Structure 1
Amino acid sequence: MRLIIVAGGQEFAVEVGDREPVLEIKKRIEQFLGCPVSGQTLSICGWELVDGLDLEDYPIVTAGTKIDLTVKPPPVAFNHRGKIQITVKFSCRHLNIEVDKTETVRSLKEKIHIMDGTPIKRLSLFHSGVELEDDFRNLSEYGISEFSEVVVFLKTMNRLRDEPPARKLSIVVQTSSSLLNAASIPVEIKDCGTVNDLRQMLLDGKILPQDDYLFIHKQRIMRDNCSLRWHGVENGDSLYVFKGTVSSSEY
């Protein structure tokens, strides 16, 4: 079928198969426009198409559908040596920050405080599922490099030993149309439970058939070994489940 890619006020058509992976579409766009796959975001009505999924996972995509293309600009050429661009992600917003490779975790927290106003003592930072616990270690020691993503978790003011008490969440697991006919499954689970815990709960209860699954929260693929709290899941949120697996490089 033919899809219409909309970028910068211009449109062009691409021919794709019904089961075309989203990542393959991005590769075609790279060949056509020259913009790197890593810098592309494809979306429909604000809903991001995730690299680890196929078009058949998005029933909204049909012949003639217009897909918005957003391209992340390359790093500015005048960035002097030693500076890197990173993205700091809150649950509902993000900041693009320039930092020095030798900066400490504390220095990054101070920059976030200046730009966002969040008190430093409430900031708990994570990179690739690992908490940046030592304020005096360099960012590079935690593997942070150009275009890395740092996730912010806001501590509660009465947090005991820097770890808030576990809360029970009432959430909805929403399946795709090809899985249980787009069922909505209410689930109760503690926010300290991991995505693996949630998956096992659904499998043990025979709510989902035995298979490999990935979960999506707010248009982002969730990490198996990270807690729902780490992902910013709140009471009443919906998680979307699809059949399949995703390699670590696709997170």
Structure 2
Amino acid sequence: MDLFFDADKGMSFTVEVGYFDTIQEIKQKVTKYHGIPVHQQTLKFHGKTLPDDLNIHTSDILDGSRLNLVTTVVDPQPPPQTVTTTIVKTEETTPSPPSCMSTSSSNVIIKLVLKPFGVSINVGMDDPVSKIKEKVNEMEQIPLSRMTVHANGIELHDHNTMHECQLVDGSQVDITFKPPTPPAPPPPTLITRAPSPCGLNMANSKKMKVFVMSKCGEKISLEVNSSSNVGELRKELEKVVRNQGLGFGLPEEGYFFIYKQNVMEEDHSFRWHRVGHGDTIEIFNGCVTGGS
């Protein structure tokens, strides 16, 4: 699907994204094709800021939607206050990696270089490693629980201080991110049907006609209940094609349904998808795996 972007600097462009992309992944594509760093991007839709872990599939964003791109330039940190420190080094044969051993220090301010952002932050020698995560959260709005901090290939734990991890002015630290937890699917719609005197469902069993269109443009009409799950459409379609000997080609390798450019959940009803009488549902080859 294609999304349109209106940048605050008067620039407009289009980026192709997947149905299951997160906002973080869309920002990475904007960086790839238009050179705008991820940490300088804020995406808004209908005036609301979109969080990085939001999945397009669970939002109101559709093919052809227009997003506002607000870019912010991170000002370089002011130089730290002049602090005179004396470092006494003993003779050593090889440099030792950060070992997070416990010693005492004064809270001297040092500058750390964050990878992959390429920016510097100021922290105190007595500050815990969790302070680095808090600084990144302020810049990128990434949850602390998704971050892991490494220096020289060693993971630094939140409770250890900069001094205990042997970080000094100018040290480089690597920030890696765990994948976001996928949002929970919406609860199924429970429909209580009161039986009529004849044993038939009344208000919730409204019949309607829909059209199913193959990739070749062939159409077949089927009658369904608006309250039935989309999975019933698959059963009804295959039964009609099999019994009537129609030349309507169903993909042997599997297929799924698309309505108004959105993948349909087969355990949800037609009413939940807002399908109306006379609407067309398309067939796409393949299967839905849960990723873009």
TM norm structure 2: 0.37
Structure whose residues are more often helix by fraction: 1
Q: Could you say which structure has the larger radius of gyration?
A: 2
TM norm structure 1: 0.42
